[in-house]
Chains A and B, each alone.
Chain A
Amino acid sequence: MSLLAIKALSVSIGDAAILHDIDLDMRAGEIVAITGESGSGKSMTALAVMGLLPRGAKAKGQIILDGHDILQTPEPALCKIRGKTVGMVFQEPMTALNPVQTIGAQVAETILIHEKTTKAEANKRAAAMLERVGLKVPPSRYPHELSGGQRQRVVIAMAIALRPKLLIADEPTTALDVTTQARILELLRGLVREFGMGLLIITHDLAVVAEIADKIVVMQKGRVVEVGATQDLLTNMQHPYTKALFAASSHLVQLPVHTGSVQLLSAKHITRDYPLPRKTLLGPRPTFRALDDVSFYIDHGERVGLVGESGSGKSTLTRAILGLEDVQSGEITLDGAPVFTGKKPNLAVRRKMQVVFQDPYSSFNPRHRVDRLITEPFHLLETPPTGQARTDAIAKALTDVGLSPDDAGKYIHEFSGGQRQRIAIARALIIEPELIIFDEAVSALDVSVRAQVLDLIADLCRKRPLAYLFISHDLSVVRTVTDRVLVMQAGKIVEQGETETVLTQPKHPYTQALIAAAPQLPQLKQAV
């Protein structure tokens, strides 16, 4: 008998149909991955199984979980099923825990609300479960004292405290670093084996899917477009969308060959300390060293990647290069001129570099039209273009990134995520900078959109020599769009060199660990 059987499930909210005729079947001990791009209905399917659809959602069809039809079960009975028969792990470990309760109490709560047992007994079992998920801190800790990976372990402990038959994990590793991601995936796999439970994992990351799943379900716009056992599906994709999805995830771009070696950006022995709160009332403030003797350079027209995990100092370095903050020691120069002079950024230098940020949704003022948004860097110029020259500059910048000059009059909410990132690039290009910093610029995009934006970047390089610093946690992306790569760990650059060489023959143990942890799409697909 199947553990979970979804039959002809349709969900709508108001007039909008979210899910159409979903069918899905899984057995105990099986790992099923639902994948697809944002808006495909992956998470909604998971919430439907939990009986936690948002208010106002109407569901039709059947969801049979361990003999219960979830859609026909009244709320009080659903509460008895949730946590006991089915547990759920969410994407964002930083906010998934109650900040004012100890982690032990939160795990014990799962036991206490489902079983008649004493608090002491529940606490004991919670502690054992926290140990089982590999957490090495005492249960008396609060969530804010833990890292993202540790918090995700707590969330998992909470979900599996009663050994549910089904565990649903919605993007459980998306917010985590690659090395942490590898450990969490290993933990989930181990738990499935040990408890014999089913795991329904939802992720947009095809490499993760290929690595962990027994069966893959591909969704697009609220429909299941293809289902198959992992090996079969990977070797014999039927649906064009599945093919497109896998092709986009291993998308490679052709950069024009970089020649010449005239130095553009130079950073020498950069150190940046942040003050921490005082330990004693009048004692000296301890400091945290975010950048520790960092030195590197970027040549004119050179594409350099910067990889490292969260907290390694990537963002601090970006801020220092842009002259947004001064550094304690060392010097950063662009074309020989310091980026930071006196107490403020050097505008003459600042106009030679621009930045594109990660989040295409929050990095624009929603009240301004596109023309105003992308001409913002003009204030760096001594004589900003006006009248026809300004209009022409706007039209050129928009055309360069594959948008239409007519888009200048629109507001940002009228664009999709990928288009917004194009607008962000247009904003960076409009004053024709020497250097662009891409700060996780493609990380928030769906794979197909990401492939398009990467193509755009390669195109721009072909039109004119463009130097950039490409910051990303995604090694496969860095590999295709950069000539040289810097690897950062704990504020230090531990390895640098030609991208291909560093990624195929890493010398530093940290680089080796990063590469080993990054999930890989099977080779057979890279040939497509």
Chain B
Amino acid sequence: MIRFAAGRLTSLVISLIVASIVIFAVIEVIPGDPAAFMLGVNARPDTIAALRAEMGLDQPVIQRYFAWVAGMLQGDFGTSWTYKTPVSDLIADRIWVSLPLAIYALALSTLIAFPAGIYAASRRGGAGDTAIMGATQLGVAIPNFWFAMILVLIFAINLRWFSAGGFPGWDNPFQAIKSLTLPAIALALPQAAILARVMRSSLLDMLGEDFIRTARAKGLTQRQALWRHAVRNALIPVLTIIGLQFSFLLAGGIIIEQVFFLPGLGRLIFQSISARDLIVVESVVMLLVFVVIVVNFLVDLAYAAVDPRLRTKS
């Protein structure tokens, strides 16, 4: 297990190095002057020159790359051109909204999907299965912003249980969680629908396996066989989907952030792209890549925890 983890960790580090080179290359090295791009077509040459100097573009590429990486390792992501504040502060503010929102949504999605998928699989072909499969079909088809608007209409405007948008900060954790609840539900529902379907089909595959028949021959009831033998084996494909969903939830929540007026990472990236603030774009993209790679690493560890065959095969 330790060797397996070490192996995955090595590949994590290599992935991060490769990703940083690609991101740096795409944004700073590929033809076209970033400074000129950021300032637009009407910029005066001396302004461009000043920005070039400020961004260090007059220095050799290798040196710039290492300066960028060294800075990131110390938490220094440079200074935003548009906001005139350190990028690290910008990100720190946003990540405290986006990360909890993603975790919240993922937790909700898992909490809904697991019981729904397991229930549907155990009642295959029955009324419960049909109902759940119908609901997940809807969940997959309907876009999350539409859910978001419906939720606002019902719970914020009519019932007035939640506010319709905005984020009060973490000074009052209860209020903070409350303001993230509707967005998290809107994000979670379509994901839960997908996850429930994967859980169901994966479980049904497992229920057809020989070892389930062996378990039944030992005297386990169908339900015991499902819980003790099928569920854990069915988790592998489900974990894959969870890993993909988390990455999506972290950065892909931009529409939901707009609907609920949340100051999240999605909005930051959207705004900095519109403002051509490449320094912010570069750092946020690197951060997202970092998170995705770390999540994949955790998913790999989870695979190994679930399936002993992967531990020895590293």
A and B associate in one complex: yes
Taking a contact as CB atoms under 8 Å apart, the answer to whether A83 and B233 are in contact is no
* Interface membership of B99, Cβ < 8 A: no
Question: How many A residues touch the partner, as a band?
Answer: 20 to 34
Closest to B311 in A: A142
Closest to A94 in B: B210
CA distance A109 to B314 in the complex (A): 29
Q: Nearest Cβ in chain A — how far from B295, in angstroms?
A: 23
Q: Nearest Cβ in chain A — how far from B75, in angstroms?
A: 30
Secondary structure call for the B interface: helix
Taking a contact as CB atoms under 8 Å apart, the answer to whether A82 and B218 are in contact is yes
Which chain A positions have C-beta within 8 A of B307? Answer: 99-100
Taking a contact as CB atoms under 8 Å apart, the answer to whether A155 and B218 are in contact is no
Closest to B221 in A: A79
Closest to B308 in A: A142
Taking a contact as CB atoms under 8 Å apart, the answer to whether A90 and B219 are in contact is no
Taking a contact as CB atoms under 8 Å apart, the answer to whether A281 and B217 are in contact is no
CA distance A426 to B216 in the complex (A): 44
* Interface membership of B44, Cβ < 8 A: no
Which chain B positions have C-beta within 8 A of A100? Answer: 232-233, 306-308
Closest to A158 in B: B218
CA distance A247 to B306 in the complex (A): 51
Taking a contact as CB atoms under 8 Å apart, the answer to whether B217 and A50 are in contact is yes
CA distance A52 to B219 in the complex (A): 11
Which chain A positions have C-beta within 8 A of B6? Answer: 281
Taking a contact as CB atoms under 8 Å apart, the answer to whether A97 and B211 are in contact is yes
Which chain A positions have C-beta within 8 A of B276? Answer: none
* Interface membership of B177, Cβ < 8 A: no
Taking a contact as CB atoms under 8 Å apart, the answer to whether A97 and B312 are in contact is no
* Interface membership of B291, Cβ < 8 A: no
CA distance A76 to B213 in the complex (A): 16
Taking a contact as CB atoms under 8 Å apart, the answer to whether B211 and A99 are in contact is yes
Checking A101, A110, A144, A155 against B219 with a beta-carbon cut-off of 8 angstroms, the contacting residue is A110
User: Using a CB-CB cutoff of 8 Å, which residues 90-131 of chain A contact chain B?
Assistant: 90, 92, 95-101, 109-110, 113-114
* Interface membership of B82, Cβ < 8 A: no
Checking A88, A92, A145 against B312 with a beta-carbon cut-off of 8 angstroms, the contacting residue is A145
Taking a contact as CB atoms under 8 Å apart, the answer to whether A113 and B312 are in contact is no
Checking B7, B213, B217, B312 against A83 with a beta-carbon cut-off of 8 angstroms, the contacting residue is B217
* Interface membership of B224, Cβ < 8 A: yes
Taking a contact as CB atoms under 8 Å apart, the answer to whether A98 and B221 are in contact is no
- Known A-B contacts A98-B233, A109-B228; the reply to A82 vs B210 at CB < 8 A is no
* Interface membership of B84, Cβ < 8 A: no
Closest to B309 in A: A144
* Interface membership of A283, Cβ < 8 A: no
Which chain B positions have C-beta within 8 A of A298? Answer: none
* Interface membership of A84, Cβ < 8 A: yes
Q: Nearest Cβ in chain B — how far from A181, in angstroms?
A: 19
* Interface membership of A376, Cβ < 8 A: no
Taking a contact as CB atoms under 8 Å apart, the answer to whether A79 and B314 are in contact is no
Taking a contact as CB atoms under 8 Å apart, the answer to whether B220 and A52 are in contact is no
Which chain B positions have C-beta within 8 A of A82? Answer: 216-219
CA distance A50 to B218 in the complex (A): 10
* Number of residues of chain B lying within 8 A (CB) of chain A: 27
* Interface membership of B10, Cβ < 8 A: yes
Which chain B positions have C-beta within 8 A of A159? Answer: 217-218
Checking B211, B217, B314 against A95 with a beta-carbon cut-off of 8 angstroms, the contacting residue is B211
Taking a contact as CB atoms under 8 Å apart, the answer to whether B221 and A142 are in contact is no
* Interface membership of A80, Cβ < 8 A: yes
0/1 interface trace, chain B 280-309, chain A, CB 8 Å (1 if under)? 000000000000000000000000001111
Closest to B232 in A: A100
Q: Nearest Cβ in chain A — how far from B62, in angstroms?
A: 26
Q: Nearest Cβ in chain A — how far from B234, in angstroms?
A: 10
Taking a contact as CB atoms under 8 Å apart, the answer to whether A99 and B218 are in contact is no
- Known A-B contacts A82-B217, A145-B312; the reply to A113 vs B224 at CB < 8 A is yes
* Interface membership of B137, Cβ < 8 A: no
Q: Nearest Cβ in chain A — how far from B167, in angstroms?
A: 42
CA distance A434 to B219 in the complex (A): 56
- Known A-B contacts A92-B210, A96-B214; the reply to A113 vs B219 at CB < 8 A is yes
CA distance A97 to B218 in the complex (A): 12
CA distance A83 to B232 in the complex (A): 23
CA distance A281 to B307 in the complex (A): 22
CA distance A277 to B215 in the complex (A): 33
Which chain B positions have C-beta within 8 A of A155? Answer: 214
Checking A79, A81, A90 against B214 with a beta-carbon cut-off of 8 angstroms, the contacting residue is A90
CA distance A106 to B165 in the complex (A): 52
CA distance A90 to B307 in the complex (A): 23
0/1 interface trace, chain B 193-234, chain A, CB 8 Å (1 if under)? 000000000000000011101111111110010001100110
Q: Nearest Cβ in chain A — how far from B244, in angstroms?
A: 22
0/1 interface trace, chain B 67-103, chain A, CB 8 Å (1 if under)? 0000000000000000000000000000000000000
Checking B209, B214, B218, B308 against A144 with a beta-carbon cut-off of 8 angstroms, the contacting residue is B308
- Known A-B contacts A98-B229, A142-B309; the reply to A110 vs B218 at CB < 8 A is yes
Offer 6 A-B interface pairs, CB within 8 angstroms, sorted by A.
A79-B219, A82-B218, A98-B211, A110-B218, A113-B220, A114-B219
- A residues whose Cβ falls under 8 Å from a Cβ of B: 50, 52, 75-76, 79-84, 87-88, 90, 92, 95-101, 109-110, 113-114, 142, 144-145, 155, 158-159, 277, 281
Given contacts A90-B213, A96-B214, A100-B306, 5 further A-B contacts (CB under 8 A): A80-B219, A99-B307, A109-B215, A109-B228, A144-B309
- B residues whose Cβ falls under 8 Å from a Cβ of A: 6-7, 10, 209-211, 213-221, 224, 228-229, 232-233, 306-309, 312-314
8 smallest beta-carbon distances between A and B, as pairs: A83-B219, A95-B210, A88-B217, A83-B218, A82-B219, A142-B308, A98-B211, A110-B218
